[in-house]
Structure formats: C-alpha cells, structure tokens
Structure 1
Amino acid sequence: MNRLAFLLATVFAFHTFAAETTVETDPRLHSDGKGWKLNQATIKDPKRPRVLLIGDSILSGYMAHAIKKLDGMAYVDAWVNPYNQSEHLNTKILPEVLAKGPYDVIHFNMGLHGWQEGRIKPGTFEPLTKGYVDAIRAKLPNAKLIWASSTPVLLEGDVKKIDPVINGTIIEHNRMAAQVMAECGVPVSDFYALLVDKLDLARGGKDKFHWNGPAYQILGDKCVEEVLKVMPAAK
C-alpha cells in the first residue's frame, strides 16, 4: 500500500469509528463533556500497565480525576459512549475499541442509555450483558475486568428525590448486571450505592442524570481503588 492509500485508509477508518460513537437521540443523555469518543493516552513506556475506562456521560465527570490518580502507574484510555446492550455493540463496536489496546485492566459501565422502552428487548438484557463480557475476554483474555453499576436518576427539579420510573429500571438493570458479573467472576464498583445517599451532590434542575464535582471525585476514587486491586506491576 502506498503512502497516499495508507493515509486515506486511516482517515476512512477514523471517520467510520467516529460515526459509530455519535448516536443518541435523547437530548437529556448528552455526553456532558467533549463528546462521545475514545480518549487515548500517549504511550512512552511500553512496560507500564494500560487501563481502559468504559462508560456513559458519567465517565466524562470522573475520568480526569481517575487518570490523574493513576498517573505514573498506568496509561489510561477512556471511552465515553452512548451505547446500551446490543449484539452490534458486542460484535462490532466493542472489538474495534479493544483493538486500540492491549489493556491490562478494563473498568466498564453501560446503563443510562438503556432504560427507554424498546431499546433493549425483554429477556435480552442478561444474555447481551454476558455477551459484552465474553467479547472482552475473547479479544483480551488476560485483561482484568471490573464492572461499575449505573448511578441514580433523580426527579427533575428536586435533587432530594429519585425518579420513580426511570430509576426503577436502573435498579433492575443493575441487579441483572450484578448477577451476570457474579456468574462471570467479575468484581463490582458499586457506583449506585456510593451516590444514592448523597443526592445533594447531584447537579439538579432539569438535569436528572449528572452530578457535581465532589460526586465525580467519589466515583473516580472508587474506580482507581478497584483498578489498583487487580492492576499488574510494570513489566
């Protein structure tokens, strides 16, 4: 392949991947940051462990804190994305991201984009969630995995109350995902439990989903704590 063909192929691949990470029709579920994308670390020492953080817009809030705490110990990539469980995610999109590795530790979450009726067909949540784990292990069999539960969803205009409809789905999805992780032997970062008694840290107003800085620091600290438990030493 000549240089021009290589450059064109690279640009095409980038745009194809970028296009895969821009689908969210619900304006309430915005990226809450610099967009849906894979933020990649610059690798200078190949002996240092690599970590991949996967999550929805909540990851936008805590990833900088987690990356800073792991600075000097690991290179951290962070994939902020709008996906819920699906076969297409498991078989095409996720493997493309994992190919950016290899990664030693993967701390992952997906939940805030799957509560709307029709997005995940009844009876498929658990097998698709297991398929997600299987897809990671097929691509990176030596990676250590950690799953993070989804955070609470509040009632619009009242940061002291939980949304009874949406949050009910979040709780059920967290429960089913936790069951899958138990069966797969994947440890848990229980983000939901960390914030459910700290609703005063929510952003509030018309924003039902996002949080203020102190909440994201709590999540970042928990993320790093769990990553360090399983992260290998530098080679």
Structure 2
Amino acid sequence: MVLVIRVMVLMLVFNVASSAWSQRANPAFSDPEIDPNLPNVLLIGDSISMGYMIPARNALKGKANVFRPKTNCGPTTKGVAEIEQWLGDRKWDVIHFNHGLHDLKYMGPKGQNLADPQADGAHQQVPMDEYQKNLRTIAKRLKQTGAIVIWRETTPVPKGSQGRVPGDSAKYNAAAAEVIKDVGGIATDPFYEFALSVKKEQRPANVHYTSAGSQQLGQHVAEVIAKALK
C-alpha cells in the first residue's frame, strides 16, 4: 500500500513538472520584455494563435507588450471557465480573441477527441446555440475591461481534416457575427478571408499552418492591433 502511494505521488510530481516544462518550452507561452511605457495587448486563442504569437509580438516590438494565456484557450466553454485567470490584474489596452475550431470539432459518444463526424453518437463539442451563449458571456466580460476588444474570425477547415467538417468555420463565424453585433462596441478582424489568401500555407488535411503561414498570420494580427492602437 505504501509503495502504491509513493508511485502515485511520483506520478503526480512528474505530471506537474512535465506540464510546467511544456509551458516553458513553448515560446508562445513566454512573457515579453515589458516596457511600462507601452500599451498591453492580450491575444486569446487556440493553437492557431499559438503559431502566430511570436511573429505578432516581433512585429509589434517597440509598439506594445504582447501577452497570451499560457495555455491553448480551446473552446468557448474553457473561455467562460478561465477568462478571469487569463485577464489577471493587468490593465489591457487591446484584447484580440477567438474561439471556434475547438467548438466545432466532433467528439465521440465517450468523449473521444476528433471523432469521425459521420460516426454514431458523434457530436460537435459545443453546439451552435451554446457557442453563441458562451461567446456572449466572454465578449461582455472583455468589454468590461475597458480595452479595445477585437473578435478574430475562425480559420477555414480544409478538406480531409480529422474530426472537423469543411464549411463549419464559416457557419460558426456567422453565428459569432450575430453575437458580436448584438453585444456592440467590438471590432472584427476578418481573419477568415485573410487565412484564405494564405491557403497554400495551410497544411494538407490539417487546420494548422506552416511556419511561413503562421508568420503571415502574425503579421496580419499585428497590423490589425497597430491600427487599433492608433
């Protein structure tokens, strides 16, 4: 019994250490060199935003301190649960945010990730109506910060992507547009259209982008934020 407890404790310590190492190892989770004279920018998003995080920060060097949560922000359900932690106590000047690819992906009846959309019991992780409800909660909270808030559209799902259906991004973006318009006072980054312009840099049958693609996405985000700061 004592041996079992010791093994469990060691496993717990290993998992915590592994998670901490993973966060430190990913450049997207690093903090910027803070200049107190510059505005603070928060980027919220999933692995797509993790890919363009450093390019956006580099493009805004000398113009803003660019941060992001030290996690994949995933679906809107995670956003609702963790938004206070992500905001922290820092004064934000611009918040650029997105949720979508994790909401629209399909799960199996037993929680299997990226399930075949045609399989029995497969369902989208966050249905459209719940997505809109969650997004409304997040958008209203972000507005309360007093920052300039920018909704970033969700990127396209290419043909052959596991657990997702091409065209669903456009549907979820349309649903999001209704919420953003209703909440009011939030700008929209037409990211979907821009992402289509760099479609050749999206990996085959994969929602993710090459390094060159992430570089271009980051440059676009930086331009949108720089314009907002003016």
Deviation (angstroms), 1:95? 0.7
- 1:82–1:50 CA distance, 2 compared to 1 (3 A): closer
- 1:39–1:108 CA distance, 2 compared to 1 (3 A): farther
Is contact 2:155-2:195 (8 Å) kept?
yes
Match of residue 229, structure 1, among 217, 227, 230: 227
Structure with the higher fraction of residues in strand conformation:
1
Is contact 1:155-1:163 (8 Å) kept?
no
Match of residue 154, structure 1, among 143, 153, 158: 158
Counterpart AA for 2:37: K
Q: Residue in 1 aligned with 2:140?
A: 134
Is 1:143 aligned to 2:147, yes or no? yes
Q: Residue in 1 aligned with 2:5?
A: none
Count matched residues: 192
Structure with the higher fraction of residues in helix conformation:
2
| TM-score relative to the length of structure 1 | 0.71
CA RMSD, aligned part only? 2.8
Deviation (angstroms), 1:82? 4.1
Matches within 5 A, 1:190-209: 190-204=190-204, 207-209=205-207
Partner-residue secondary structure (3-state), 1:60: helix
- Bigger-Rg structure (1/2): 2
Is contact 2:159-2:166 (8 Å) kept?
no
| Unmatched 5+ stretches in structure 2 | 1-15, 107-122
- 1:164–1:171 CA distance, 2 compared to 1 (3 A): farther
Deviation (angstroms), 1:113? 0.6
Matches within 5 A, 1:1-235: 34=26, 38-43=29-34, 45-79=35-69, 80-86=71-77, 89-90=79-80, 92-115=81-104, 116=106, 117-138=123-144, 140=145, 142-156=146-160, 166-183=165-182, 184-204=184-204, 207-231=205-229
Partner-residue secondary structure (3-state), 1:188: strand
Partner-residue secondary structure (3-state), 1:208: coil
Is contact 1:51-1:74 (8 Å) kept?
yes
| TM-score relative to the length of structure 2 | 0.73
Q: Please give the alpha-carbon distance, in whole angstroms, between the structure 2 residues aligned to 1:47 and 1:152.
A: 37
Deviation (angstroms), 1:57? 0.5
| Unmatched 5+ stretches in structure 1 | 1-14, 23-30, 157-161
Q: Please give the alpha-carbon distance, in whole angstroms, between the structure 2 residues aligned to 1:114 and 1:164.
A: 11
Q: Residue in 2 aligned with 1:9?
A: none
- 1:165–1:109 CA distance, 2 compared to 1 (3 A): closer
Bigger drift between 68-77 and 117-126 goes to 117-126
Partner-residue secondary structure (3-state), 2:225: helix
Is contact 2:53-2:218 (8 Å) kept?
yes
Deviation (angstroms), 1:39? 3.5
